Amino acid sequence: MAILEACLLAKRFGPVTAVEEVSLTVAEGEIAGLLGPNGAGKSTTLHMLLGLVTPDSGSVRLFGLDLDRHRTEVLSQVNFSAGYLGLPGVLQVREVLDAFARLYGLRHPARRVAEVVGLLDIGSLLKRKVIDLSSGQQTRVHLAKALLNEPRLLVLDEPTAALDPDTGDRVRRLLVDLARESGRAMLITSHNMREVERMCDRIHFMSAGRIVASGTAAELAADFEVADLEEVFLKVARQ
Amino acid sequence: MTLDMTTVPETTTVLPPLSAAARRRRISGVVRRDLASLRRSPIRIFEIVFWPTIELVVWGFVTVYLQASKVPFVVSMLLGAVLLWQILHRASNEVAIGFLEDIWSRNLLNMHVTPLTTTEYLSGLIVFSLTKVVFSVAMMGTMAYLLYGFGILTIGVALVPFMGLLLVLGWSLAIVAISCVLRFGEGAQVIAWSLVFVFQPIAGVFYPVSVLPSGLQVVASFVPATHVFQGMRDVLGGAAIPWDRMAAAAALDVVYVALALALYTVTLRHARAKGRLSRFGE
């Protein structure tokens, strides 16, 4: 079943076309990657899928429901994490997680917070203020926040960008396990091509606001007649 | 294929999103977050005490001076005005600050991708602001009694409608200020601090509106606070509670709240359409 269906999304900001005719679907248990050079329209696309930006045309359906008309129902089963977002810096990590557990309307906030703290191995950070954490630690807290409501769709913008290789590897494995075992769908942007190759079932390349290629990592490499995804990226970026 | 609501199965983790329990839980998320934020910000606790104290001390000495000049009722009227003004000022500022803190911490987008509705978000900010207003007024009331012998309770039962009407006006002004920030960006946050002061000279906080030019008197009659502060002077002067004024203020409050919510809805829609909401995450 399609968790996410975006159909012919378009967005212009004044004279600039940010996104044009973007259509994509993400199925249950699928990890999809959205790649492209800076300014390709990835963030605008993600923000339209989350209802932060209203498309000029096109539609977004999540779990078969129109996002605009069923915002509260839909967003209770979606979550988002992005490196460029912050969390209230003066709060302790446990206070942040408690607040978001409630904002997502969880039945048992304390119990679920304890579970995600275990998953992300951040027990030692609970009593520390967010502002005092390293960027890698903050990323883990963001990911913990993103898992609180056991989202059926998880949207991640550069999920492991600030993590060291060991922690990055653990987080990637955790995310892949979550998708495989619980059928969670994920949509990920990343500039780490090895990460995308390892994690994503399907990859969409964006350039100048459009999806210019889609497929598995192997299919894309074959289509572009190159060895790997990194070279596909370079070809797309330099076209 | 169009699927019905059964395609969003209830989970053991999340309360049914449209249930009253889920709504209460989400509002409690906003309130608990802001309370935790206040607890961990000594500067903000200091600010709650500092500004009302300064205002009370300055106006208190002015009243002592005027009292020595044999101006009748001056202590109670000026100190009553200072205390009621603080309710309006705090109610407006605290709600706006709750919103601005989301911008300052780049947390606004996180809030907007939760299932939290506009009503729930604003309700959370309002409930939190109420705790600060109550604390602030209780502290000022105690000081006014200890320093100048003025008991705010001498206003009597009229204090309840006076406070309620000013709180509602303050919250509606905060929603207007938040809308301005959404529309014009962070640069407009000065409006959050200053909007309430536009009403201070017009509403006749410290003097009767009869001293205003006739044109401004007409404008003042459309400000709910005008009726509250005049009502306070009437009550402290020995008259009965002017219920006609209270009714007028209540009706105006309803109009102010409705207009503020409409403005917020329009500006949020505009911010989403123009991509301005996304820019608060940059």
pLDDT tens for A177-228 read: 988 988 899 999 988 898 899 999 999 999 999 999 999 999 999 999 999 8
Position B73 pLDDT exceeds 90: no
Instruction: Check CB contact under 8 Å for B273 and A54.
Output: yes
Which CATH code is given to the segment(s) A2-77+151-169+176-238? 3.40.50.300
Instruction: Check CB contact under 8 Å for B25 and A105.
Output: yes
Position B3 pLDDT exceeds 50: no
| Mutant choice from B43, B108, B110, B268 vs A, greatest count of A C-beta within 10 A | B110
Averaged pLDDT score across all residues of chain B? 87
Q: How far is A116 from A149, CA to CA, in rounded Å?
A: 10
Instruction: Check CB contact under 8 Å for A107 and B15.
Output: yes
Name which of A225, A172, A235, A162 is nearest A205 in CA terms.
A235
Q: Is residue B13 part of a domain?
A: no
What b/e string do you get for B247-275 counting C-beta neighbours within 10 Å, with b at 16 or more?
ebbbebbeebeeebbebbeebbeebbeeb
Query: Looking at the 3D structure of chain B, how many domains does it have?
Result: 1
CA distances A131 to A16, A83, A92, A147, Å, are: 36, 14, 9, 21
Q: Is residue B6 part of a domain?
A: no
Position B59 pLDDT exceeds 80: no
Position B12 pLDDT exceeds 90: no
Residue intervals in chain A for CATH 3.40.50.300 = 2-77+151-169+176-238
* CB contact at 8 A, B165 and B246: yes
* CB contact at 8 A, A112 and A148: yes
* Residue B98: burial class (beta carbons within 10 Å; 0-12, 13-18, 19+): buried
Q: Which residues contact B242 (CB under 8 A, 6 or more apart)?
A: B227, B230, B231, B234, B235
pLDDT tens for B180-221 read: 999 998 888 888 888 999 998 899 998 889 999 999 999 999
Report the pLDDT value the prediction gives residue B132, as an integer from 0 to 100: 87
Averaged over B39-44, what is the pLDDT?
81
Residue with tokens 């919103």: B99
The edge-to-edge listing of strands for the beta sheet with A2-13 is: A16-27, A2-13, A57-62, A65-66
At B68, is the pLDDT very low, low, confident or very high (cuts 50, 70, 90)?
A: confident
| Mutant choice from B30, B33, B128, B280 vs A, greatest count of A C-beta within 10 A | B33
Instruction: Check CB contact under 8 Å for A100 and B7.
Output: no
Report the pLDDT value the prediction gives residue B103, as an integer from 0 to 100: 93
Report the pLDDT value the prediction gives residue B10, as an integer from 0 to 100: 57
The verdict on A185 touching B (C-beta cutoff 8 Å) is no
Within a 10 A sphere around the Cβ of B4, how many other Cβ atoms?
8
* CB contact at 8 A, B137 and B87: yes
Q: Is residue B132 part of a domain?
A: yes
Position B8 pLDDT exceeds 80: no
Report the pLDDT value the prediction gives residue B4, as an integer from 0 to 100: 41
Q: Does ipTM top 0.90?
A: yes
Show the domain range for B128. Answer: 21-279
pLDDT tens for A143-161 read: 999 999 999 999 999 888 7
At B71, is the pLDDT very low, low, confident or very high (cuts 50, 70, 90)?
A: low
The residue ranking higher by pLDDT, A161 or B92, is B92
Query: Parallel, antiparallel, or unpaired: how do β-strands A153-157 and A16-27 relate?
Result: unpaired
Selected residues 8-37 of chain A with any CB under 8 Å from a CB in chain B = 11, 13, 18
The verdict on A101 touching B (C-beta cutoff 8 Å) is yes
Q: Which residues contact B128 (CB under 8 A, 6 or more apart)?
A: B30, B31, B34, B35, B94, B98
Q: How far is B195 from B199, CA to CA, in rounded Å?
A: 8
- Residue A20 CA neighbour count, 13 Å, CB half: 11
Q: What are the tokens at B19? A: 């249930």
The residue ranking higher by pLDDT, B141 or A87, is A87
Report the pLDDT value the prediction gives residue A145, as an integer from 0 to 100: 97
- Give the DSSP H/E element, type plus range, for residue A39: none
Q: What are the tokens at B258? A: 């409705």
- Mark out the alpha helices in B13-73 (DSSP H runs): 20-39, 42-68
Could you say which residues of chain A have pLDDT below 50?
Answer: none
Q: How far is B55 from B59, CA to CA, in rounded Å?
A: 6
Q: Is residue B14 part of a domain?
A: no
Measured torsion, CA atoms of residues B5, B8, B13, B17, in degrees rounded to the nearest 10: -40
Report the pLDDT value the prediction gives residue B5, as an integer from 0 to 100: 40
